[in-house]
Amino acid sequence: MAMKTTKLIFQWAAAVSAFAAAALWWKSSTTRVECDLPPGMGQFSSQIVVAEGGKELFFVQTIMKQSRWNQRAAFATFVSAFLQAIALGLPA
């Protein structure tokens, strides 16, 4: 009975971690760094500014921020896969 409970705990932990990875990747895909320069000034500064949805965004800073969120999501995916592998290795 104890092994069955342990296996179930690993499976649930893997599922929670997979859900966290999905949430982190959603956050990564929606995160933006808005431009705080006066309107139209982004094209004349050393920053790359793009327009999206009526807002000006810092392009490089947005990509860097998305990259950090992607790193967290990838780690959560690793944890999920690792926990699932342990659960699969346990006897039923």
Secondary-structure percent of the chain, ordered helix, strand, coil, rounded to 5: 70, 10, 20
pLDDT, one tens digit per residue, over 61-80 is 999 999 999 999 999 999 99
- The Cα–Cα gap between 9 and 23 comes to 21
Instruction: Read off the DSSP letter of residue 35.
Output: -
Is the confidence at residue 7, as pLDDT, over 90?
A: yes
Backbone angles phi, psi at 55, to 5 degrees: -120, 150
Residue 56 lies in a domain: yes
- Would 37 be classed as within a structural domain? no
The structural domain count of the chain equals 1
pLDDT exceeds cutoff 80 at 45: no
Please check whether residue 59 is in contact with residue 48, taking contact to mean a CB–CB distance below 8 angstroms.
yes
* Domain extent for 75: 9-28+46-89
- 20 lies in a domain? yes
In a domain, 16, yes or no: yes
